[in-house]
Structure 1
Amino acid sequence: MRDKRKNAVREAIVDTASRLFYQQGYVNTGINQIIEESGVVKSSLYQGFRSKEDILMAYLESAGAATDEALLNATRQYEEPQRKILAVFDYLINLVQQSDYYGCNFLNIISEIPKDAERVRNQIKKQKDGVRNLFRSILAPIDKGHLADEIYILFDGALIANKVHGEIWPVTTARSMAQLLMK
Protein backbone atom coordinates (compact mmCIF):
# COMPACT_ATOMS: atom_id res chain seq x y z
CA MET A 1 0.00 0.00 0.00
CA ARG A 2 2.80 2.39 0.89
CA ASP A 3 4.59 1.69 -2.42
CA LYS A 4 1.40 2.45 -4.36
CA ARG A 5 1.06 5.78 -2.58
CA LYS A 6 4.73 6.57 -3.14
CA ASN A 7 4.39 5.71 -6.85
CA ALA A 8 1.24 7.84 -7.12
CA VAL A 9 3.05 10.81 -5.57
CA ARG A 10 6.03 10.32 -7.86
CA GLU A 11 3.74 10.05 -10.89
CA ALA A 12 1.87 13.23 -9.90
CA ILE A 13 5.15 15.12 -9.58
CA VAL A 14 6.56 13.85 -12.88
CA ASP A 15 3.29 14.42 -14.76
CA THR A 16 2.97 17.97 -13.43
CA ALA A 17 6.63 18.81 -13.99
CA SER A 18 6.50 17.32 -17.49
CA ARG A 19 3.58 19.53 -18.44
CA LEU A 20 5.17 22.63 -16.94
CA PHE A 21 8.66 22.00 -18.34
CA TYR A 22 7.16 21.44 -21.77
CA GLN A 23 4.76 24.40 -21.76
CA GLN A 24 6.78 27.07 -19.99
CA GLY A 25 10.34 25.74 -19.93
CA TYR A 26 12.65 24.23 -17.35
CA VAL A 27 14.14 27.51 -16.15
CA ASN A 28 10.73 29.16 -15.80
CA THR A 29 9.32 26.30 -13.71
CA GLY A 30 9.99 26.39 -10.00
CA ILE A 31 9.83 23.63 -7.41
CA ASN A 32 7.09 25.49 -5.53
CA GLN A 33 4.93 25.59 -8.65
CA ILE A 34 5.43 21.85 -9.19
CA ILE A 35 4.46 21.19 -5.56
CA GLU A 36 1.40 23.44 -5.74
CA GLU A 37 0.09 22.13 -9.06
CA SER A 38 0.79 18.46 -8.31
CA GLY A 39 -0.97 18.67 -4.96
CA VAL A 40 1.85 16.98 -3.06
CA VAL A 41 3.60 18.21 0.05
CA LYS A 42 7.16 19.45 -0.16
CA SER A 43 8.54 16.60 1.96
CA SER A 44 7.00 14.04 -0.42
CA LEU A 45 8.67 15.70 -3.38
CA TYR A 46 12.07 15.56 -1.69
CA GLN A 47 11.57 11.93 -0.65
CA GLY A 48 11.32 11.02 -4.32
CA PHE A 49 13.71 13.55 -5.85
CA ARG A 50 16.86 15.14 -4.49
CA SER A 51 16.73 18.08 -6.90
CA LYS A 52 14.88 19.79 -9.70
CA GLU A 53 17.41 18.20 -12.07
CA ASP A 54 16.32 14.75 -10.86
CA ILE A 55 12.74 15.66 -11.79
CA LEU A 56 14.01 16.86 -15.17
CA MET A 57 15.76 13.53 -15.73
CA ALA A 58 12.51 11.66 -15.01
CA TYR A 59 10.74 13.95 -17.49
CA LEU A 60 13.35 13.35 -20.19
CA GLU A 61 13.23 9.59 -19.67
CA SER A 62 9.43 9.56 -19.85
CA ALA A 63 9.31 11.85 -22.89
CA GLY A 64 12.03 9.75 -24.53
CA ALA A 65 10.09 6.53 -24.11
CA ALA A 66 6.92 8.16 -25.48
CA THR A 67 8.79 9.62 -28.46
CA ASP A 68 10.49 6.32 -29.27
CA GLU A 69 7.16 4.52 -29.18
CA ALA A 70 5.46 7.14 -31.38
CA LEU A 71 8.22 7.02 -34.00
CA LEU A 72 8.22 3.21 -34.04
CA ASN A 73 4.43 3.16 -34.37
CA ALA A 74 4.67 5.50 -37.35
CA THR A 75 7.12 3.16 -39.10
CA ARG A 76 5.17 -0.05 -38.37
CA GLN A 77 2.51 0.86 -40.90
CA TYR A 78 4.85 0.15 -43.81
CA GLU A 79 7.18 -2.53 -45.10
CA GLU A 80 9.41 -0.54 -47.46
CA PRO A 81 12.28 1.29 -45.73
CA GLN A 82 11.84 4.48 -47.74
CA ARG A 83 8.17 4.60 -46.80
CA LYS A 84 9.05 4.01 -43.13
CA ILE A 85 11.36 7.04 -43.18
CA LEU A 86 8.70 9.19 -44.82
CA ALA A 87 6.21 7.99 -42.21
CA VAL A 88 8.43 9.50 -39.50
CA PHE A 89 8.26 12.85 -41.28
CA ASP A 90 4.50 12.43 -41.76
CA TYR A 91 4.28 11.89 -37.99
CA LEU A 92 6.19 15.17 -37.49
CA ILE A 93 3.89 16.99 -39.90
CA ASN A 94 0.92 15.90 -37.79
CA LEU A 95 2.69 16.63 -34.52
CA VAL A 96 3.75 20.19 -35.28
CA GLN A 97 0.17 21.10 -36.24
CA GLN A 98 -1.22 20.15 -32.83
CA SER A 99 -2.42 23.12 -30.77
CA ASP A 100 -0.58 21.78 -27.71
CA TYR A 101 2.75 21.37 -29.53
CA TYR A 102 5.47 23.60 -28.07
CA GLY A 103 8.47 22.16 -29.87
CA CYS A 104 10.74 19.16 -29.38
CA ASN A 105 10.99 18.33 -25.67
CA PHE A 106 14.70 17.65 -25.95
CA LEU A 107 15.70 20.60 -28.11
CA ASN A 108 13.72 22.91 -25.83
CA ILE A 109 15.62 21.68 -22.77
CA ILE A 110 19.06 21.60 -24.40
CA SER A 111 18.65 25.29 -25.26
CA GLU A 112 17.97 26.14 -21.60
CA ILE A 113 20.57 24.20 -19.68
CA PRO A 114 24.17 25.24 -19.05
CA LYS A 115 26.92 23.58 -21.01
CA ASP A 116 28.22 21.79 -17.91
CA ALA A 117 24.88 20.02 -17.18
CA GLU A 118 26.47 16.79 -18.37
CA ARG A 119 23.91 14.34 -17.01
CA VAL A 120 21.05 16.15 -18.77
CA ARG A 121 23.04 16.59 -21.99
CA ASN A 122 23.92 12.89 -21.99
CA GLN A 123 20.25 11.93 -21.60
CA ILE A 124 19.27 14.19 -24.51
CA LYS A 125 22.14 12.87 -26.62
CA LYS A 126 21.02 9.31 -25.83
CA GLN A 127 17.52 10.16 -27.06
CA LYS A 128 18.76 11.81 -30.23
CA ASP A 129 21.17 8.93 -30.91
CA GLY A 130 18.17 6.64 -30.63
CA VAL A 131 16.50 8.52 -33.47
CA ARG A 132 19.69 8.28 -35.56
CA ASN A 133 19.84 4.55 -34.86
CA LEU A 134 16.19 4.14 -35.82
CA PHE A 135 16.95 5.68 -39.21
CA ARG A 136 20.07 3.52 -39.55
CA SER A 137 18.18 0.32 -38.72
CA ILE A 138 15.43 1.17 -41.22
CA LEU A 139 17.89 1.92 -44.02
CA ALA A 140 20.44 -0.85 -43.40
CA PRO A 141 18.45 -3.62 -45.17
CA ILE A 142 18.60 -1.63 -48.42
CA ASP A 143 22.29 -0.73 -47.98
CA LYS A 144 21.51 2.93 -47.31
CA GLY A 145 22.43 3.04 -43.62
CA HIS A 146 25.03 5.67 -44.51
CA LEU A 147 22.14 8.11 -45.07
CA ALA A 148 20.95 7.87 -41.47
CA ASP A 149 22.90 10.89 -40.25
CA GLU A 150 21.76 13.04 -43.17
CA ILE A 151 18.14 12.08 -42.53
CA TYR A 152 18.59 12.70 -38.81
CA ILE A 153 19.93 16.21 -39.56
CA LEU A 154 16.85 16.85 -41.72
CA PHE A 155 14.65 15.57 -38.87
CA ASP A 156 16.17 17.77 -36.16
CA GLY A 157 16.64 20.71 -38.51
CA ALA A 158 12.94 20.55 -39.35
CA LEU A 159 12.08 20.63 -35.65
CA ILE A 160 14.32 23.64 -35.02
CA ALA A 161 13.11 25.57 -38.07
CA ASN A 162 9.50 24.82 -37.17
CA LYS A 163 10.12 26.23 -33.69
CA VAL A 164 11.68 29.37 -35.16
CA HIS A 165 9.08 29.99 -37.88
CA GLY A 166 6.01 28.44 -36.28
CA GLU A 167 5.03 27.03 -39.65
CA ILE A 168 4.80 23.59 -41.24
CA TRP A 169 7.00 24.24 -44.30
CA PRO A 170 10.29 23.24 -42.60
CA VAL A 171 8.92 19.76 -41.91
CA THR A 172 7.37 19.28 -45.35
CA THR A 173 10.60 20.53 -46.95
CA ALA A 174 12.69 18.13 -44.84
CA ARG A 175 10.37 15.28 -45.87
CA SER A 176 10.86 16.15 -49.56
CA MET A 177 14.63 16.30 -49.10
CA ALA A 178 14.66 12.92 -47.32
CA GLN A 179 12.67 11.43 -50.18
CA LEU A 180 15.22 12.78 -52.69
CA LEU A 181 18.13 11.44 -50.64
CA MET A 182 16.73 7.90 -50.66
CA LYS A 183 16.26 7.67 -54.46
Structure 2
Amino acid sequence: MDTRTAIVEAADRLFYERGIQQVSMDELRESAGVSLKRLYADFPGKDAIVLAVLEHRHAMWVSGLDRVAAPLASPRDKLLAVFDFLAEWFVTDDFRGCAFINAFGELGGSSPEVAAAARAHKESFQIYVDDLVEKAGATPALARQLVLLAEGAQTTSAIVADPTAARHARDAAEVLISAAIGAPA
Protein backbone atom coordinates (compact mmCIF):
# COMPACT_ATOMS: atom_id res chain seq x y z
CA MET A 1 0.00 0.00 0.00
CA ASP A 2 1.38 3.41 -0.87
CA THR A 3 1.76 6.15 1.72
CA ARG A 4 -1.10 8.29 0.44
CA THR A 5 -3.50 5.34 0.61
CA ALA A 6 -2.31 4.49 4.13
CA ILE A 7 -2.98 8.06 5.24
CA VAL A 8 -6.44 8.17 3.65
CA GLU A 9 -7.44 4.81 5.13
CA ALA A 10 -6.19 5.78 8.60
CA ALA A 11 -7.95 9.14 8.38
CA ASP A 12 -11.15 7.53 7.17
CA ARG A 13 -11.17 5.11 10.07
CA LEU A 14 -10.33 7.76 12.70
CA PHE A 15 -12.59 10.51 11.33
CA TYR A 16 -15.53 8.15 10.91
CA GLU A 17 -15.10 6.66 14.36
CA ARG A 18 -14.39 9.82 16.36
CA GLY A 19 -15.14 12.85 14.21
CA ILE A 20 -12.81 15.00 12.16
CA GLN A 21 -12.12 17.67 14.75
CA GLN A 22 -11.35 15.11 17.45
CA VAL A 23 -8.41 13.65 15.51
CA SER A 24 -5.09 15.45 15.66
CA MET A 25 -2.58 15.39 12.85
CA ASP A 26 -0.16 13.65 15.20
CA GLU A 27 -2.70 10.87 15.90
CA LEU A 28 -3.30 10.53 12.19
CA ARG A 29 0.44 10.39 11.48
CA GLU A 30 0.89 7.67 14.09
CA SER A 31 -2.06 5.61 12.87
CA ALA A 32 -0.90 5.82 9.25
CA GLY A 33 2.66 4.94 10.24
CA VAL A 34 4.23 7.94 8.53
CA SER A 35 6.30 10.88 9.61
CA LEU A 36 4.68 14.27 10.03
CA LYS A 37 6.90 15.54 7.22
CA ARG A 38 5.62 12.80 4.91
CA LEU A 39 2.01 13.45 5.94
CA TYR A 40 2.34 17.12 5.01
CA ALA A 41 4.19 16.24 1.80
CA ASP A 42 1.13 14.29 0.63
CA PHE A 43 -1.48 16.61 2.13
CA PRO A 44 -0.92 20.31 2.81
CA GLY A 45 -3.48 20.36 5.62
CA LYS A 46 -6.34 18.59 7.33
CA ASP A 47 -8.96 19.84 4.84
CA ALA A 48 -7.03 18.16 2.03
CA ILE A 49 -7.11 14.89 3.97
CA VAL A 50 -10.83 15.29 4.66
CA LEU A 51 -11.46 15.81 0.94
CA ALA A 52 -9.41 12.73 0.07
CA VAL A 53 -11.39 10.70 2.63
CA LEU A 54 -14.65 11.95 1.13
CA GLU A 55 -13.45 10.94 -2.35
CA HIS A 56 -12.64 7.50 -0.91
CA ARG A 57 -16.08 7.29 0.73
CA HIS A 58 -17.78 8.32 -2.51
CA ALA A 59 -15.97 5.54 -4.37
CA MET A 60 -17.03 3.04 -1.69
CA TRP A 61 -20.65 4.23 -2.00
CA VAL A 62 -20.71 3.95 -5.79
CA SER A 63 -19.03 0.55 -5.68
CA GLY A 64 -21.51 -0.71 -3.10
CA LEU A 65 -24.52 0.45 -5.08
CA ASP A 66 -23.08 -1.07 -8.25
CA ARG A 67 -22.43 -4.38 -6.48
CA VAL A 68 -26.02 -4.79 -5.32
CA ALA A 69 -27.68 -3.39 -8.44
CA ALA A 70 -25.55 -4.90 -11.23
CA PRO A 71 -27.02 -8.42 -11.07
CA LEU A 72 -30.58 -7.09 -11.24
CA ALA A 73 -32.41 -6.52 -14.50
CA SER A 74 -35.26 -4.14 -13.80
CA PRO A 75 -34.99 -0.50 -12.73
CA ARG A 76 -37.57 -1.25 -10.01
CA ASP A 77 -35.35 -3.96 -8.51
CA LYS A 78 -32.31 -1.70 -8.78
CA LEU A 79 -34.17 1.05 -6.91
CA LEU A 80 -35.09 -1.35 -4.12
CA ALA A 81 -31.49 -2.62 -4.06
CA VAL A 82 -30.45 0.81 -2.78
CA PHE A 83 -32.26 -0.04 0.45
CA ASP A 84 -30.76 -3.54 0.50
CA PHE A 85 -27.34 -1.93 0.29
CA LEU A 86 -28.25 0.34 3.21
CA ALA A 87 -29.44 -2.68 5.21
CA GLU A 88 -26.06 -4.38 4.69
CA TRP A 89 -24.18 -1.24 5.70
CA PHE A 90 -26.26 -0.45 8.78
CA VAL A 91 -25.41 -3.77 10.47
CA THR A 92 -21.64 -3.35 10.14
CA ASP A 93 -19.79 -2.92 13.42
CA ASP A 94 -18.38 0.46 12.46
CA PHE A 95 -21.54 2.10 11.05
CA ARG A 96 -21.65 5.74 12.17
CA GLY A 97 -23.95 7.25 9.56
CA CYS A 98 -23.16 9.05 6.36
CA ALA A 99 -19.59 10.38 6.32
CA PHE A 100 -20.73 13.25 4.10
CA ILE A 101 -23.45 14.35 6.50
CA ASN A 102 -21.02 13.98 9.38
CA ALA A 103 -18.32 16.02 7.63
CA PHE A 104 -20.83 18.66 6.55
CA GLY A 105 -22.11 18.93 10.10
CA GLU A 106 -18.62 19.39 11.48
CA LEU A 107 -17.00 21.51 8.79
CA GLY A 108 -19.61 22.59 6.24
CA GLY A 109 -19.94 26.04 7.72
CA SER A 110 -16.22 26.71 7.80
CA SER A 111 -14.96 24.78 4.77
CA PRO A 112 -16.58 25.56 1.43
CA GLU A 113 -14.62 22.67 -0.10
CA VAL A 114 -16.05 20.13 2.34
CA ALA A 115 -19.54 21.55 1.83
CA ALA A 116 -19.09 21.29 -1.95
CA ALA A 117 -17.87 17.68 -1.68
CA ALA A 118 -20.90 16.74 0.44
CA ARG A 119 -23.27 18.44 -1.99
CA ALA A 120 -21.60 16.77 -4.99
CA HIS A 121 -21.94 13.34 -3.38
CA LYS A 122 -25.62 13.89 -2.60
CA GLU A 123 -26.24 15.24 -6.10
CA SER A 124 -24.51 12.20 -7.59
CA PHE A 125 -26.83 9.89 -5.66
CA GLN A 126 -29.86 11.91 -6.77
CA ILE A 127 -28.75 11.60 -10.41
CA TYR A 128 -28.29 7.84 -9.96
CA VAL A 129 -31.83 7.47 -8.61
CA ASP A 130 -33.23 9.93 -11.20
CA ASP A 131 -31.84 7.71 -13.96
CA LEU A 132 -33.37 4.53 -12.53
CA VAL A 133 -36.74 6.23 -11.99
CA GLU A 134 -36.73 7.51 -15.57
CA LYS A 135 -35.92 4.00 -16.84
CA ALA A 136 -38.79 2.67 -14.72
CA GLY A 137 -41.14 5.11 -16.44
CA ALA A 138 -42.02 7.18 -13.38
CA THR A 139 -41.97 10.93 -12.81
CA PRO A 140 -38.97 12.71 -11.24
CA ALA A 141 -40.98 13.25 -8.05
CA LEU A 142 -40.54 9.55 -7.22
CA ALA A 143 -36.76 9.92 -7.36
CA ARG A 144 -36.86 12.79 -4.88
CA GLN A 145 -39.04 10.75 -2.53
CA LEU A 146 -36.81 7.69 -2.71
CA VAL A 147 -33.67 9.70 -2.05
CA LEU A 148 -35.31 11.29 0.99
CA LEU A 149 -36.18 7.83 2.28
CA ALA A 150 -32.59 6.64 1.82
CA GLU A 151 -31.10 9.76 3.43
CA GLY A 152 -33.56 9.60 6.30
CA ALA A 153 -32.81 5.92 6.88
CA GLN A 154 -29.08 6.67 7.11
CA THR A 155 -29.57 9.43 9.64
CA THR A 156 -32.15 7.55 11.69
CA SER A 157 -30.10 4.38 11.82
CA ALA A 158 -27.00 6.27 12.91
CA ILE A 159 -28.73 8.30 15.62
CA VAL A 160 -30.92 5.62 17.16
CA ALA A 161 -28.61 2.67 16.39
CA ASP A 162 -31.42 0.79 14.70
CA PRO A 163 -30.48 -0.98 11.48
CA THR A 164 -34.13 -1.77 10.74
CA ALA A 165 -34.51 1.76 9.38
CA ALA A 166 -33.33 0.39 6.02
CA ARG A 167 -36.07 -2.23 5.98
CA HIS A 168 -38.72 0.32 6.92
CA ALA A 169 -37.47 2.67 4.21
CA ARG A 170 -37.49 -0.21 1.70
CA ASP A 171 -41.08 -1.05 2.60
CA ALA A 172 -42.06 2.59 2.06
CA ALA A 173 -40.12 2.66 -1.22
CA GLU A 174 -42.06 -0.38 -2.46
CA VAL A 175 -45.33 1.41 -1.77
CA LEU A 176 -44.16 4.57 -3.55
CA ILE A 177 -42.81 2.66 -6.54
CA SER A 178 -46.00 0.60 -6.86
CA ALA A 179 -48.10 3.78 -6.71
CA ALA A 180 -45.94 5.40 -9.40
CA ILE A 181 -45.47 2.54 -11.85
CA GLY A 182 -47.80 -0.25 -10.69
CA ALA A 183 -47.25 -3.47 -8.85
CA PRO A 184 -44.49 -5.82 -10.01
CA ALA A 185 -45.45 -8.23 -12.76
> TM (normalized to structure 1)?
0.92
Question: How much has 1:177 moved relative to structure 2?
Answer: 1.0
Aligned pairs for 1:108-127 within 5 A: 108-127=102-121
Report the counterpart of residue 168 of structure 2 in structure 1: 173
Deviation for aligned residue 1:170: 2.0
1:3 maps to what in 2?
A: none
> Which residue in the other structure is 1:156 paired with?
151
Uncovered stretches (5+) of structure 2, i.e. residues with no partner: 179-185
Q: Does 1:76 align with 2:80?
A: no
Q: Deviations over 1:125-181 (max 9, x none)?
A: 111111111111111122215111111010000101111111123221111111111
Identify the residue that residue 56 of structure 1 maps to in structure 2: 50
Given candidates 107, 122, 125, the residue that maps to 1:128 is 122
Shift, 1:87, TM fit: 0.9
- The whole-number CA distance in structure 2 between the counterparts of 1:113 and 1:145 is 35
State the match for 1:99 in structure 2.
93
Deviations 1:46-83 (A, max 9, x none): 11111100000000001101111111221112111111
Whole-Å separation in 1 of the counterparts to 2:129 and 2:24: 36
Instruction: Give TM-score, length-normalised by structure 2.
Output: 0.91
Q: Which residue of 2 aligns with 1:40?
A: 34
Secondary structure (helix, strand or coil) at the match of 2:23 reads: coil
Separation in 1 of the partners of 2:2 and 2:164? 41
The match for 2:177 is 182
TM-aligned CA distance change 1:149 to 1:11, over 3 Å:
same
- C-alpha contact 2:108 2:114 (8 A) present in aligned 1: no
Question: 1:135–1:145: 8 Å Cα contact kept in structure 2?
Answer: no
Give the aligned partner of residue 4 of structure 1. none
Contact preservation (8 Å) 1:137, 1:145: no
CA RMSD of aligned residues (A): 1.3
Shift of 1:36: 1.2
In structure 1, distance between residues paired with 2:139 and 2:45: 40
